[in-house]
Amino acid sequence: MIVLIVNCGSSSIKYQLYDMPGRKVLAKGLLERIGEGASALTHRRGEEKFEIARPIPDHKTGLSLILSCLADPGRGVLKNVREISAVGHRVVHGGERYSNAMRIDQDVIGCIGDCCDLAPLHNPPNLVGIQECTLALPGVPMVAVFDTAFHQTLPREAYLYGLPYEIYERYRIRKYGFHGTSHAYVTNRAAKLLGKPEAEVNLITCHLGNGSSMAAVRNGKSVDTSMGFTPLAGLVMGTRSGDLDPAIIPYLNSKQEYSRVADIDRMLNKKSGLLGISGISNDMRTLGDEAAKAGASSRPQLAINIFCYRIKAFLGQYMAILGRVDAVCFMGGIGENSAAVREQCLAGLENFGIAIDLQKNRNFPRGEECDISEAASRTRVLVIPTDEEGWIAEETYKLCK
């Protein structure tokens, strides 16, 4: 069964074509800068890479280019796009309604629309992707896989803020959590690696990339997570601040430089985090290189230290919440690739039953799953390359097969 996965952003479309079951990737690609004149599609088939530069005014034209690429005799992998049996859409916000992937019908489309207010940058383009795919592939079932769904099992004490209860009732302000597909996928893999049923594993999953979040997982279900009402909360990220004292916002707003709330919002989302602290970059590799040159008291090193400190603080919180932790899991660009960050986050936790094997942490084969803990460590430490698209393909296949 051929399954197409589509992730529609405001000016981009990411896609992957799978042969299911077995999650074999037939082709994938990224269309960028839609509506900006210099649009470019990078399409990959196995090791082959094709670059197509041409103006793409809108998502409709973009999807039609992608579909024609997939069935192109020179670059494609299909004889005809009618071989596509289902389409899985990554949808950022499912509100309080969806705790699972859903076959898309008018009701689901209505709910995604209702959640546009909660995710104004993401849900509208997600909806456009669904509408355009429905037009281009009539009769093909579509599935929505929500970034928020895995965290719908949070108990009320974890998802409610200390605000007047009416604010939750009136404006739906609560913790939703994001990166759900990654936390769900890694929970599934970790259970397999630990040789336990998913319903019996307790985990702390750490998705560390440009955007970063952690989740506390009890008996296979998310019971707390670091992102909140929006993906700005929690850990220090590439350009996002993570948690801060809410009183900072009205205080800054009283200063002339930040008299517009939109400027505060932009600063918190785009100019903070690793970039804002270091003054150099949001990229962990660059910061590692710069810190090695500039020394322990440099701002790049300070940015790395704050990043790791915040992760360790959440680890402590989640150990207390879970009581028993079978494994701490690392995924995402930084979680999978930075031995230094993993080592710094876990340093000194031996008394809590967490000890990594420093050699294994540094030397295990890139891109593979690995248990990097010492044999005596009560809690396992696992590095698990995440596969959000593969998980969306699985969910789509399960609902449509």
Residues engaged in binding ligand ADP (CB under 6 A): 209-211, 238, 283-285, 288, 332-334, 337-338
Give how far Cα 329 sits from Cα of 26, 150, 174, 222, 313, Å.
28, 16, 26, 14, 16
Nearer to ligand ADP among residue 362 and residue 378 (C-beta): 362
Nearer to ligand ADP among residue 42 and residue 131 (C-beta): 42
Which are the contacts of 299, defined by CB distance < 8 A and separation ≥ 6? 277, 278, 279, 280
Which are the contacts of 183, defined by CB distance < 8 A and separation ≥ 6? 150, 151, 205, 207, 213, 215, 217, 222, 225
Rounded Cα–Cα distance for residues 9 and 174 (Å): 24
Strand partners, 205: 215, 329
Query: Quick one: which of 268, 331, 267, 279 has its CA closest to 303?
Result: 279
DSSP secondary structure code for residue 365 in this structure: P
Angle (CA) 182-187-190 rounded to 5° is 120
In angstroms, what is the minimal distance from the CB of 131 to ligand ADP? 26
3-state helix, strand, coil in the chain (%, to 5): 45, 20, 35
Nearer to ligand ADP among residue 13 and residue 334 (C-beta): 334
Rounded Cα–Cα distance for residues 220 and 78 (Å): 37
Q: Is the dihedral of CA 382, 387, 390, 395 positive or negative?
A: positive
Nearer to ligand ADP among residue 132 and residue 388 (C-beta): 388
Nearer to ligand ADP among residue 39 and residue 337 (C-beta): 337
CA neighbours within 13 Å on the CB side: how many for 214? Answer: 28
- 17, 77 in Cβ contact below 8 A? yes
Nearer to ligand ADP among residue 97 and residue 342 (C-beta): 342
In angstroms, what is the minimal distance from the CB of 210 to ligand ADP? 3
In angstroms, what is the minimal distance from the CB of 377 to ligand ADP? 23
Rounded Cα–Cα distance for residues 145 and 25 (Å): 19
Write down the catalytic residue from 147, 224, 371, 387: 147
Nearer to ligand ADP among residue 16 and residue 338 (C-beta): 338
Place of tokens 């104004």: 120
Q: Would you state the structure tokens that stand for residue 386, as one six-digit string?
A: 């995440």
Active-site residue 72, yes or no?
A: no
Q: Which residue is nearest to ligand ADP (CB)?
A: 333
In angstroms, what is the minimal distance from the CB of 379 to ligand ADP? 23
Residue type, 352: F
Task: For 180-230, give the secondary structure using H, E and C.
Answer: HHHHHHHHHHHHHHHCCCHHHCCEEEEEECCCEEEEEEECCEEEEECCCCC
Nearer to ligand ADP among residue 187 and residue 386 (C-beta): 386
Q: Which helix (H) or strand (E) holds 253?
A: helix 248-253
In angstroms, what is the minimal distance from the CB of 178 to ligand ADP? 11
In angstroms, what is the minimal distance from the CB of 271 to ligand ADP? 16
Helix (H, G, I), strand (E, B) or coil at 329: strand
In angstroms, what is the minimal distance from the CB of 216 to ligand ADP? 21
In angstroms, what is the minimal distance from the CB of 207 to ligand ADP? 8
Active-site amino acid positions: 147
